[in-house]
């Protein structure tokens, strides 16, 4: 399968971001999973960063599509085209004809049809063949957990579409739990909270930037606030208001509660020896959602187990896939 000299690729095909890892080079593509298309002809206008900047700003003849939803392919053709574009970006034109093997991650608990769709989309995107790796397992490798050892490690990957909680030991996932509650849901909660409390309508990009700038949960220190722009629901006119970090905390409480429940639920179902290991090693948080202010503290308090954010949480899955590519001999049975 994975030839020794082939330049194998690892792809973290995320709901919000796609990362491409080139064996021997590291992460070479890191772009939003967004495609902008002409509505009548389906012709692609922009992919990645450029397309994300168009969200909420398109005229009638252009539409922005996020082809991944909740960690799985929602729009097959667009996903394949997007992958093709990102794969091409990693190559010098001279080796364009040289087809590569790719390893792509998938959330745990996806159906056979959803797995097939990822493999076929990768092939349609130009891969010679595609192999799958579970996202939580890749996240655990990428955050430096001792996944091959006979010890329990817990990883919580909070992406845009899903939160994946998994306990890993001896090179495999012992137990995992995936919920379709993560960053996107946080953005939607902020949108509806601000509409209800301030009669202000804001877009998804604004909601996400509020979350990144002043989003925090639990005990909020200081008095972070932010000026935001939207449309007044009553007058229909543009308006600027100031919101407080407390607003965002209130808006996010349900979402964060779901994430914490998922972690607790997984801990309750973890075999006792592994649970004991996790009490020592802690809970590792990965994915962009791990950066939400104070989330690590709140998870620590609620579970009574130390939770810590991985280094480069947005890169962990891609690094994990890359590490897997470089140690493919350990995977013979896994990479099917
Ligand atoms: P995916 O793997 O699903 O594509 P990522 O791991 O790339 O997701 O994380 C993207 C999510 O993380 C988005 O919902 C984004 O808004 C969120 N995010 C990124 N940075 C922050 C931050 N500083 N605070 C809170 N959420 C963040
Ligand atoms: Mg992810």
pLDDT of residue 97: 52
CB 86 within 8 A of CB 48: yes
User: pLDDT digit string (tens) for 27-73?
Assistant: 999 999 999 999 999 899 999 999 999 998 999 999 999 999 999 99
Predicted confidence band of residue 334 (pLDDT cuts 50, 70, 90): very low
Query: What separation in Å is there between the alpha carbon of 110 and the centre of ligand 2?
Result: 14
Q: Say yes or no to pLDDT of 2 above 60.
A: no
pLDDT of residue 1: 53
pLDDT of residue 5: 45
> Cβ neighbours of residue 241 under 8 Å, at least 6 residues apart?
198, 200, 227, 228, 230
Query: What separation in Å is there between the alpha carbon of 247 and the centre of ligand 1?
Result: 20
Predicted confidence band of residue 194 (pLDDT cuts 50, 70, 90): very high
Predicted confidence band of residue 109 (pLDDT cuts 50, 70, 90): confident
Q: Any bridge partners for residue 167, and if so which? A: 154, 175
Q: From 52, 156, 289, 319, give the residue whose CB has the most ligand 1 atoms within 8 Å, as the site to mutate.
A: 289
Q: Say yes or no to pLDDT of 327 above 90.
A: no
Query: What separation in Å is there between the alpha carbon of 59 and the centre of ligand 2?
Result: 30
Q: From 34, 70, 118, 183, give the residue whose CB has the most ligand 1 atoms within 8 Å, as the site to mutate.
A: 183
Query: What separation in Å is there between the alpha carbon of 5 and the centre of ligand 2?
Result: 28
Is 157 close to ligand 1, i.e. is its CB under 6 Å away?
A: no
Report the DSSP pairing between strands 153-158 and 283-286.
parallel
User: pLDDT digit string (tens) for 128-167?
Assistant: 999 999 999 999 999 999 999 999 999 999 999 999 999 9
**What counts of helices (H) and strands (E) characterise the chain?**
10, 18
pLDDT of residue 335: 43
Q: Say yes or no to pLDDT of 98 above 90.
A: no
CB 185 within 8 A of CB 179: no
Give the least confident one: 221-225, 231-235, 286-290: 221-225
Q: Considering only CA atoms, which residue is closest to atom 2 of ligand 1? A: 14
Report the DSSP pairing between strands 101-106 and 225-232.
unpaired
Tokens of 163: 């939160």
Is 293 close to ligand 1, i.e. is its CB under 6 Å away?
A: no
Is 15 close to ligand 1, i.e. is its CB under 6 Å away?
A: yes
Predicted confidence band of residue 6 (pLDDT cuts 50, 70, 90): low
Cα–Cα distance measured from residue 224 to residue 235, given in angstroms and rounded to the nearest whole number? 28
Q: What is the rounded average pLDDT for all residues in the chain?
A: 93
């Amino acid at each position: 399968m994975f030839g020794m000299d082939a330049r194998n690729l690892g792809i973290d095909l995320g709901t919000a971001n796609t990362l491409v890892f080139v064996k021997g080079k590291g992460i070479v593509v890191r772009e939003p999973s967004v495609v902008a298309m002409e509505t009548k002809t389906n012709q692609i206008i922009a992919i990645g960063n450029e397309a994300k900047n168009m969200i909420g700003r398109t005229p009638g003849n252009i539409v922005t599509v996020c082809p991944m939803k909740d960690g799985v392919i929602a729009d097959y053709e667009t996903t394949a085209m997007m992958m093709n574009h990102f794969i091409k970006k990693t190559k010098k034109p001279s080796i364009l004809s040289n087809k590569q093997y790719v390893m792509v991650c998938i959330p745990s608990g996806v159906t056979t049809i959803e797995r097939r769709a990822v493999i076929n989309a990768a092939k349609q995107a130009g891969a010679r063949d595609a192999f799958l790796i579970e996202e939580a397992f890749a996240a655990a490798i990428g955050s430096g957990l001792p996944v091959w050892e006979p010890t329990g490690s817990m990883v919580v990957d909070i992406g845009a579409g899903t939160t994946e909680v998994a306990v890993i030991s001896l090179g495999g996932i012992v137990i995992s739990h995936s919920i379709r509650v993560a960053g996107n849901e946080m953005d939607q909660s902020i949108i509806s909270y601000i509409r209800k409390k301030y009669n202000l309508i804001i877009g998804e990009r604004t909601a996400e930037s509020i979350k990144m700038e002043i989003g925090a949960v639990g005990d909020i220190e200081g008095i972070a606030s932010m000026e935001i722009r939207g449309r007044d629901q009553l007058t229909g006119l543009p308006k600027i208001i100031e919101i407080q970090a407390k607003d965002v905390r209130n808006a996010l409480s349900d979402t964060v509660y779901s994430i914490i429940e998922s972690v607790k639920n997984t801990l309750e179902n973890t075999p006792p020896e592994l649970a004991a290991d996790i009490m020592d090693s802690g809970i590792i948080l990965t994915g962009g959602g791990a950066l939400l202010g104070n989330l690590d503290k709140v998870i620590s308090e609620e579970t009574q187990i130390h939770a810590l954010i991985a280094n480069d949480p947005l890169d962990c899955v891609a690094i994990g896939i890359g590490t897997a590519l470089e140690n493919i001999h350990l995977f013979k049975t896994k990479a099917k």
